[in-house]
């Protein structure tokens, strides 16, 4: 769903220090932008920033980068970040361009939270857990990395399980009803709170790739 651009978007985009305007220029040099060599975790489709903001607040030893393709949404996320949160940057960009933004091995973890399920069968290649995207993530990770995935869509979750398993990823912490499980440390997104409040189960998994084990 496309969000109508707000009048303040352009000004926010130009002035907010959390927004990175030319991510391609920082490829291989994100540690210089952050001013440290801490691990880098990215969230694909960061929305209004609730998840990445809280994650960064609770994990000051990690650098977080959110990627969002809608300009008004990413500007809203930037507004929602506290000025003192120096370990968060946001990119107005698309998952298709990940390898233009980062060098292989520069990112250690990817969060994919409540992405578009693309429900029609003919759209399966657009799903962010389709093995075509998994190949891109492998290249991004270099030798090893991990993906934390959450959705409220059972069909997408079952599809994702098959894609990860078929592509050689190691799965753990698989949950068919996250909020009724004993999993600790979950950080909810805006969508997650909305869906769970309506009684929808939340599905979650962790997928790890290690080239040496293949």
Choosing from 116, 167, 177, 182, which is the catalytic residue? 116
The encoded tokens of residue 137 equal: 């993530």
Query: In this structure, are residues 37 and 103 in contact, taking their beta carbons and an 8 Å threshold?
Result: no
* Sign for the pseudo-dihedral over CA of 59, 63, 67, 73: positive
Query: In this structure, are residues 77 and 16 in contact, taking their beta carbons and an 8 Å threshold?
Result: no
The encoded tokens of residue 53 equal: 């903001």
| CA–CA separation, 57 and 180 (whole Å) | 25
The encoded tokens of residue 208 equal: 């790890």
| CA–CA separation, 68 and 49 (whole Å) | 10
CA 15 to chain centre: 24
Residue with tokens 């980062």: 102
**148 CB neighbour count, 10 Å cutoff:** 17
Q: Is 61 a catalytic residue?
A: no
Instruction: Give me the active site residues, please.
Output: 116
């Amino acid at each position: 769903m496309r969000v109508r651009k707000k009048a303040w978007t352009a000004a926010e985009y130009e002035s907010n220090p959390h927004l990175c305007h030319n991510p391609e220029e920082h490829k291989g040099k994100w540690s210089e932008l952050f001013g440290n060599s801490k691990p880098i975790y990215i969230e694909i489709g960061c929305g209004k920033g609730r998840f990445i903001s809280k994650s960064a607040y609770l994990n000051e030893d990690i650098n977080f980068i959110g990627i969002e393709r809608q300009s008004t949404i990413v500007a809203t996320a930037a507004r929602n970040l506290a000025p003192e949160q120096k370990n968060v940057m946001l990119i107005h960009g698309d998952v298709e361009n990940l390898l233009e933004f980062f060098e292989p091995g520069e990112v250690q973890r990817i969060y994919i939270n409540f992405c578009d399920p693309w429900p029609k069968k003919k759209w399966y290649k657009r799903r962010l857990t389709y093995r075509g995207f998994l190949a891109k993530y492998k290249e991004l990770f270099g030798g090893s990395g991990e993906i934390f995935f959450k959705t409220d869509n059972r069909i997408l979750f079952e599809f994702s399980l098959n894609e990860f398993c078929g592509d050689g990823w190691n799965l753990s912490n698989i949950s068919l009803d996250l909020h009724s499980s004993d999993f600790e440390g979950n950080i909810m997104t805006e969508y997650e709170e909305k869906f769970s409040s309506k009684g929808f189960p939340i599905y979650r998994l962790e997928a790890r790739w290690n080239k040496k084990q293949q």
